[in-house]
């Protein structure tokens, strides 16, 4: 019973706080990153979880690849990342009223998987954000995993890194789904671990993408 009450509270709180944040982002557009960071840090207390950050972000890396378990993955990065990240998100997110408004106001990057020209547009949008000083965050798995084993990486991040000549920093997140399963809205207290791994230069090894997956899986296994 208590778990159901907590889940209901978290769902209401999450949606309500997003709506309030969008209002402030709309009214004070130049400060949208500030309001996103405030919102993300507030979630640690409102949802009830801690962050354990290991390693350091390499601000020279323009493409950040992250394993995906839960909406808390985004919350965690928004709370701690020192720059203004631009997230690659599927088009369906932009079509959800309150989340769509937040992503549009923040100039996030929409990916329409059903469009044959999607990669061309993605390359253009990613270059634009990077040229404007914004590192790009992408989930190479393409969807949420169960938290223990990485899914197969989709080709998008590899193409972006190689075509745009981008240094890549892998980030491994553990326990996010245990704390907040954003599919079932089950919530419990806990610690979300964010581990920054050393950056990778795709020019150094033609098999860099496969090795990246292996290194991230190895780190995730250590963190569990």
Per residue in 171-197, pLDDT (tens digit) is 999 999 999 887 777 888 899 999 999
pTM over 0.85: yes
- Tens of pLDDT, residues 83-142: 999 999 887 777 776 677 778 888 999 888 777 788 999 999 999 999 999 999 999 998
137 Cβ contact partners less than 8 Å away, ≥ 6 residues apart = 64, 66, 77, 85, 86, 87, 88
Which DSSP state fits 44? I
Could you tell me which CATH number the domain at 2-223 has? 3.40.1130
| C-alpha of 109 from chain center | 12
Question: Of 149 and 113, which is predicted with more confidence?
Answer: 149
Q: What is the spatial distance between Cα 224 and Cα 220, in angstroms, rounded to a whole number?
A: 6
C-beta separation of 84 from 192 below 8 A: no
Closest CA to 66 of 58, 74, 55, 56: 74
């Amino acid at each position: 019973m208590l778990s159901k009450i907590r889940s209901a509270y978290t769902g209401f709180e999450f949606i309500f706080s997003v709506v309030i944040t969008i209002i402030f982002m709309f009214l004070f557009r130049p400060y949208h990153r500030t309001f996103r960071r405030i919102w993300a840090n507030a979630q640690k207390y409102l949802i009830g979880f801690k962050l354990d950050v290991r390693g350091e972000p390499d601000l020279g890396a323009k493409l950040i690849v992250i394993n995906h378990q839960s909406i808390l993955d985004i919350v965690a990065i928004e709370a701690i990342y020192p720059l203004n990240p631009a997230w690659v998100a599927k088009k369906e997110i932009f079509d959800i009223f309150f989340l769509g408004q937040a992503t549009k106001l923040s100039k996030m990057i929409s990916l329409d998987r059903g469009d044959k020209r999607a990669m061309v547009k993605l390359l253009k949008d990613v270059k634009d954000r990077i040229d404007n000083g914004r590192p790009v965050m992408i989930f190479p798995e393409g969807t949420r995993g169960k938290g223990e084993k990485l899914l197969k990486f989709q080709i998008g991040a590899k193409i972006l890194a190689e075509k745009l000549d981008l240094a890549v920093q892998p980030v491994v997140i553990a326990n996010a789904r245990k704390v907040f399963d954003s599919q079932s809205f089950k919530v419990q207290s806990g610690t979300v671990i964010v581990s920054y791994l050393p950056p990778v230069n795709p020019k150094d090894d033609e098999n860099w993408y496969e090795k990246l997956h292996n290194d991230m899986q190895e780190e995730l296994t250590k963190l569990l």
